[in-house]
Structure 1
Amino acid sequence: MIDRILSIQALSDAAQARFPEGNFGHEEYRPALERLLRAYHEEAQLTPVGLRATSARLITALKHRRQLVAHGEKYPESAGIEIESPIFILGFPRSGTTLLHNLFASDTANRPIRLWEMHYPYAEDEEDIVKAMEETRALADEAYRVAPGLADIYPGLKAEWPGECSWLFRNCFSTLDYGFNHFIPGYVQWLLFRDMTEDYRYFHKQLQAILSLRPGGPLVLKDPLHLWHLPELLKTFPDARVIHLHRDPREMVPSGISLFRTAPVGEATIRSVPEIVDYYLNILTVGLERMLVSRARLPREHFIDLGYRELVANPEAAMEKLYAELGMDFSPRSRAGVRQWLSEGSKHTGKHHYQLADFGLTAWDVEQRFFAYRERFANYLNEIQEK
């Protein structure tokens, strides 16, 4: 059954049936989609629920490709939209990027891309936008229903919240987000050695299309996975400012593994703890090595470093500091937005409990992997008690 459902032809036919206009654009996406499908066939061990969900996601991504072409034909001027001095928030998964992104999004002077826009980027009139928000909420509710416990670990699937860039990278089928949602090591290994230049150009093109319908700025974007591709990011956005969040690996690693164990529940066979730990840490290790090399080579003026503990200890002060470093005005409206979002904190925070021992790890195991990281960014990594 999987051969019939997860084939390029079947997925493409379904996408075209849903959106007959346009076409799929340039063929550069096909190698990534082919490799991803191979991984789903050979490695993911999808359940019937997972097979249906995966098929639906891939059809949606292909539909978005057709919509982007149709949008460009209808609004050719969108290709000329300048994306000036965008702000990118990144850091290893579970390092506070979602919190910081929401704080920036609470300021109406900034322009995040909301989750509903990621899912329905070409909604134009008010009726379409309302429908997009309702359907995005339904998708989030279904994700939380299928994977009990996910809401406590990652409460960020809210239609009105800013979404991660990986939602748009899914439309070119080349994002580690696929690898963080299912156990597909072959695809991950392939992707880690892929030149992402064209994928970032396609990402840029999608942003132009969204901004042509709903302009604004400065653009504030977020995705931990940019950490693996800093050269391509700054090649595509040469005047970008990057806020790099840092969290003690002894906290960040078990939190991330816990999320990875929970995300595919109901969609795929659950792997053993040793398999999951090895898989997850290998991905992080490649990201760590690449990030350290990139940070050493890329101009320092692109980057602002911030510690997770500084952020959570006093979010308002951290935001005021960041605005100053970015040359932005932390106005009374900015401050009010931050305070309003923080005042609703109980709505935004899950109850996530984890420790290294849950995954057969010790503090020393993590220290060995992340020694170079701790040395390089010691000023932003406060000591914690060993778990």
Structure 2
Amino acid sequence: MKPVETARYADFEEALHETARNSTGLSDFGGDDYRLGLRRLIEAYATDLPGDRATRAACFELTLPGLVGRLHSERGWKDHPECLDLPIERPLIITGIPRTGTTALHMLLAMDPEFQGLERWVIANPTVRPARALWDAHPSYRAAVREVARLAESRPRVMAVHGITADDVDECLALMMQSFVTNQIPSLLDLPTYDEWFLAQDEAASYHRLADNLRLIGCAEAEKTWLLKNPTHLLRMETLLTVFPDARIVHTHRDPVATLSSLCGMLAAFRGDPEPGSPEACAIGPRQLRVYKQATEHTMAVRQRHPNSFHDVHQETLLEDPMGVVGEIYEHFELELSSDSEARMRRWLADHPAPTRTGRRDRPEDFGLTEVEIRCGLAPYIERYGLSSGKEANR
């Protein structure tokens, strides 16, 4: 279904709703609480971005999935109201600044069949996840496979730096787009007007909706423990532990100079690879430093009040001894690692060796930062976790 053509950002709100309705055949978006965030986004598009057709189309494409997801979630809850009574007990949640090993650790732990996660294909159109044997025939799964293939062909750099397939577990971030209080879009577009509002929110409604979406998606496997991952949880740790009070949180770390340089390089790939040092590239770094300065300071404060809810993993240790890290996580949170799960994890490691870095390495200066700025901005975090330059890997 083609999007409704709009000549102005001011027309986006109705056009987005119309396109979402037309593309799904659904019409119930649920309560109106999401409209504030959506309107803040649209206002920022009009204030912070040019109004040419290509930019408008990119904004429309980035925004539409949140509304499509809402429609599917509302239908799912209506069809399966019993799922909303299901408890979510002691989820295992991975968080850390992006490029600290969160993705590799997430995929490794997902090899344990005692966990359930959020596969990429089910995030876009939430529904009760069917048995694996039925996925290939599911329209949402088939659409996700096509989208991954399209990305691999049209944007190979994106897949190279963050190649999540339709079957792979992915982060909560895209699912939480449904409330439009999101780090996803301002990471891909320069929206300082939206950021001023977004960074002051607590996302309580987003986290309650996340919990209900987990109940829907996991309805057929309610006995399984949720395994989740989202770096942006660092910004909202207080809210996360309010909604999931018994959550077990794995906090990953790496030298922030390498981390932020790598993160900016990844975001640059999503933005079309602007020339390093160009104004477009140099807009990326300061925003990421601001976000993760606030995020690390917030989470460190929350950790003082919830010390037993966290376990730390350093990326260098994860690369050197991944199964040792797994063992420490399981021991800390009193989980049982079966011989079958261990074998599955070892097979995954054998099939996914740490990539060998070749070519040009991302530098802070490529993205409007300096090493001094990063170390000063994140000094309390660096000191608290003993972070300094170490082995490098963009994994």
- 1:38 corresponds to 2:5: no
> Is the Cα contact below 8 Å between 2:144 and 2:166 reproduced in 1?
yes
- Corresponding residue number in structure 2 for 1:342: 349
- 1:209 corresponds to 2:202: no
Q: TM-score, normalised by structure 2?
A: 0.88
- Corresponding residue number in structure 2 for 1:154: 162
Compared CA separation, residues 6 and 317, structure 1 to 2 (3 A): farther
- Corresponding residue number in structure 2 for 1:62: 67
Q: Amino acid of the residue matched to residue 180 of structure 1?
A: S
Helix, strand or coil for the counterpart of 1:149? helix
**Post-superposition shift, 1:333?**
1.1
- 1:293 corresponds to 2:298: no
Q: Amino acid of the residue matched to residue 32 of structure 1?
A: G
Over aligned residues, Cα RMSD in angstroms?
2.7
- Corresponding residue number in structure 2 for 1:251: 258
Structure 1 residues 75-224: aligned runs within 5 Å: 75-122=80-127, 126=134, 130-155=138-163, 157-224=164-231
- Corresponding residue number in structure 2 for 1:284: 292
> Is the Cα contact below 8 Å between 1:153 and 1:259 reproduced in 2?
yes
Compared CA separation, residues 66 and 120, structure 1 to 2 (3 A): closer
User: Deviation per CA, 1:203-256, whole angstroms, max 9, x where unpaired?
Assistant: 111111111245452110000000000000000001111100111112101001
Partners of 1:341 and 1:80 in 2: CA distance: 35
Partners of 1:86 and 1:64 in 2: CA distance: 23
- 1:384 corresponds to 2:390: yes
Consecutive unaligned residues in structure 2, runs of 5 or more: 1-5
- 1:364 corresponds to 2:366: no
> Is the Cα contact below 8 Å between 2:250 and 2:310 reproduced in 1?
yes
**Post-superposition shift, 1:132?**
2.3
Identity %: 25
Partners of 1:351 and 1:83 in 2: CA distance: 43
- Corresponding residue number in structure 2 for 1:307: 314
Helix, strand or coil for the counterpart of 2:174? helix
> Is the Cα contact below 8 Å between 2:285 and 2:364 reproduced in 1?
no
Partners of 1:190 and 1:241 in 2: CA distance: 29
- Corresponding residue number in structure 1 for 2:382: 374
Partners of 1:202 and 1:333 in 2: CA distance: 34
Compared CA separation, residues 202 and 271, structure 1 to 2 (3 A): farther
Partners of 1:153 and 1:326 in 2: CA distance: 31
> Is the Cα contact below 8 Å between 1:22 and 1:67 reproduced in 2?
no
Partners of 2:135 and 2:347 in 1: CA distance: 28
> Is the Cα contact below 8 Å between 1:133 and 1:159 reproduced in 2?
yes
Compared CA separation, residues 106 and 46, structure 1 to 2 (3 A): farther
Compared CA separation, residues 26 and 85, structure 1 to 2 (3 A): same
**Post-superposition shift, 1:133?**
2.5
Compared CA separation, residues 71 and 358, structure 1 to 2 (3 A): closer
> Is the Cα contact below 8 Å between 1:146 and 1:265 reproduced in 2?
no
How many residues end up aligned between the 2 structures?
380
**Relative contact order (alpha carbons < 8 A, sep ≥ 6): 1 or 2 greater?**
1
Helix, strand or coil for the counterpart of 2:90? coil
Partners of 1:205 and 1:235 in 2: CA distance: 14
- Corresponding residue number in structure 2 for 1:23: 28
**Post-superposition shift, 1:273?**
3.6
Compared CA separation, residues 383 and 327, structure 1 to 2 (3 A): same
Partners of 2:372 and 2:391 in 1: CA distance: 13
2:282 to 266, 274, 281: 274
User: Deviation per CA, 1:286-321, whole angstroms, max 9, x where unpaired?
Assistant: 22222222222x311111111111111111111111
Partners of 2:135 and 2:314 in 1: CA distance: 42
